[in-house]
Structure 1
Amino acid sequence: MADRKTLTTAQRRTLMASPAGWIACGFGSGFAPKAQGTFGSAAAILPWLLLRVLPLPAYLLVVLAVFALGVWACNVAGRLLGVDDHRSLVIDEFVGQWIALLPALFAPWWIVLAGFVLFRLFDVWKPWPIRWLDRHLKSGMGVMVDDVVAGVFAALALALLMHACGVALAIQ
C-alpha cells in the first residue's frame, strides 16, 4: 500500500506497466519528486496547444472523453496502489487545466500563464465546494471531479481577468 506522498520503484513500474496507470499518472508527469499537480498541469499545456485549434464542440468532447478515461484510469491505478487519490495521479490536472484555459483558446501567452496560475491556485486552495468534493467523493470520480470544479472556477476568474484587461474571449 502506498502512502499519499511517495512511490517505490516497484509501484512506479506497476503503474507504468498498466495503460490505466500510464494515463492516470499523466504519461509520467505525475512521477515528479515534488509538486506533482503542478507538473501535471504544466504537462497538460502541451496537448492543449493542439486541442485549442479544434472547434469548440470537439474541444469539449475531448475534455469529456478524457474525464471519463481519467475516472476509469484513476480507479484502476488507485486499486493498484491501494490509495484512492495518490499525488502521482494527475490526469485530473490535465482535464482541470483544459477547462481553466477554455476562455484563452487564442489568447496571448501571458493569459495562458494566468490560466495556469489560477487553476493551480483553485486546485491547491480548494474553496467550497472543491474541498467538500475532494473529501467526500472517492475512487476515480473523486480524483477527477474536484479538479473539474477548480477548472471551472479558474475559467471564470480568467474570463473576468481577460475582460478587465480588454482581451477578447475565444468563446463568445
Structure 2
Amino acid sequence: MKINKSIVSGLIAISVFGAGSLTAFAGYESHFYAPKSEYEAMVKTSGNYYYLAAATDAYNCLGYALGDTNHWVWPWGGSNPTLQQANNYMTSQMYNPYPYSSTPSNVKIIAYGTSTSNITHFSRVADANYSNAKWGGWERLQSLGWDPYSNYVYGSALQKYN
C-alpha cells in the first residue's frame, strides 16, 4: 500500500493544530479571575470580552486608558464622578471631550456611566471596531464595539475623548 505523504502531513498538522487549540482555549478560560457569569452580566452581547492581560490591582481602567499600567488612577476618591467632573479631569490631562457617537474621529478614550451623574468606567479605543479596558481589579479585556457594556455596572458610552 502506498502512503501519500502530503495527506499524512496534513493530518498531522490538523492533529497538532486541534490539540493546540484545545489547550489554548482551556488556558484562556483559566486566566479569568471571576466566574463566567460575572463577565456575561457585564456585557450586552454574550462572550464579548477577550483576554488581554492578567488581573491585577496595580492599575485600573482610567490608568490603563491614560497609558499608565503602574498606578490606580481615580482622582475622585471612593466615589464616581459626574460627566462634568470627568471632563474637567480629562481636559487637565490634555484630552478634549466630545459627546459619544460611534462615528470614529481620532477617538482615544471613552467614558461610560449609568447616567451623567455616575461615570463608572473608561476604555481605550483599539480601532474603529474594538475597545480595550481594564475591568477594575480584574483582567484587561477587549470587546467588539465601543459600547459593549450592560447597565449591570458600567452602563453606556457617554463621552469620547481625543
Q: As a proportion of its length, which structure holds more strand? A: 2
TM, length-normalised to structure 2: 0.27
Structure with greater helix share of residues: 1
TM-score relative to the length of structure 1:
0.26
